Amino acid sequence: MVYLSRFYYPTYDEEYAFRLNAVKRTCYNTMYPFFTLSTRGLTELEFEPITVLYGGNGCGKTTALNVIAEKLRLDRDTLYNRSSFFGNYTDMCYCDIKKPVSDKSRIITSDDVFDFMLNVRSINSGVDLKRDALTDEYLDAKYSHFRLSSLDDYERLKTVNAARSKTQSRFINERLQDNIREHSNGESAYLYFTDKIRENALYLLDEPENSLSPERQLELMKYIENAVRFYNCQIIMATHSPFLLSMRFAKIYDLDGEQTTVKKWTELKNVRTYYDFFTEHKDEFDD
């Protein structure tokens, strides 16, 4: 499925004209995102159901995604690097929409995933504290010499009876409300993506491989392929993960050169580095 078919960024000449004619202020030492993409020849992107922006840090792939998200007013969970000129820049961009973009569409960044993992960790810390308190409550109730003397003691009686009739683990688990299962960071990150990526929507993913092990990256790759193939999703992703770059039928833009070009994943410098390294050590694997 293709919702966003093309996106147009201002050319270098258009940006330069804006600087000359519109910017009278001299207190700024940067006009970001102006001149970030145009200097790499990136003025237009044509999208497939899966489109990948590849390149090293500082190549502009995150900027390209943030501009698209801002122009389309996509949902996001965390703030991003937005300068005073961001609105001026996005006003100069335009796009071709093939099918209306669902309001479920969103951009998912590394900061979103990181904040989610921190929240889970914080909640689980609270659960752990409550678990410790319930352990003390169980032991106190089970071995107390309690005797009902008035209706005011009725709740205490129920607690004592429950402690004496149940194991410690069952007593505690039944009293923990909204307990969140503890996962590793990689598991939590993967679950975040599978929770956010639903059917019939456009998703922008900024370096989703962060916090994911190779195995989890492969799982995410299959999840994305299925979301596109069976559930009418469109994915535009920035990554340098060789696992995600190998995604079937993905159109890959290489932002690392002086000019942005379309390449096969096996032609990318990052992937070739991995290939050369493992080829060099092939005998060690054979042993």
pLDDT of residue 118: 64
In 3D, which of 207, 224, 159, 216 has the Cα closest to residue 186? Answer: 216
User: Any idea where the domains of the chain sit in the sequence?
Assistant: 4-110+186-286, 113-175
pLDDT of residue 126: 47
* Residues constituting the chain: 287
pLDDT in tens, the chain (287 residues): 999 999 999 999 999 898 887 766 555 667 889 999 998 889 999 999 999 999 888 889 999 999 999 999 999 887 766 778 889 999 999 999 999 999 999 999 888 877 766 665 554 444 455 556 666 666 776 667 666 565 555 566 667 777 777 666 666 566 554 444 455 555 778 888 888 898 999 999 999 998 788 999 999 999 999 999 999 999 999 999 999 999 988 999 999 888 899 999 999 999 999 999 999 999 998 87
pLDDT of residue 189: 80
pLDDT of residue 123: 46
**Residue 8 to residue 219: CA distance in whole angstroms:** 32
pLDDT of residue 109: 87
In 3D, which of 71, 27, 39, 56 has the Cα closest to residue 273? Answer: 56
Output the CATH code of domain 4-110+186-286: 3.40.50
DSSP string, the chain: --SEEEEEPPPHHHHHHHHHHH----S-S--TTTTTSGGGT--EEE--SEEEEE--TTSSHHHHHHHHHHHHT-B-SS-----TTHHHHHHT-EEEESSPPPTT-EEE-HHHHHHHHHHHHHHHHHHHHHHHHHHHHHHHHHT------SGGGHHHHHHHHHHHHS-HHHHHHHH--SPPPP--HHHHHHHHHHHH--SS-EEEEE-TTTT--HHHHHHHHHHHHHHHHHS--EEEEE---HHHHT-TT-EEEE-SSSS-EEE-GGGSHHHHHHHHHHHHTHHHHH-
pLDDT of residue 15: 92
pLDDT of residue 177: 47
pLDDT of residue 96: 96
| Unique residue bearing structure tokens 């833009």 | 253
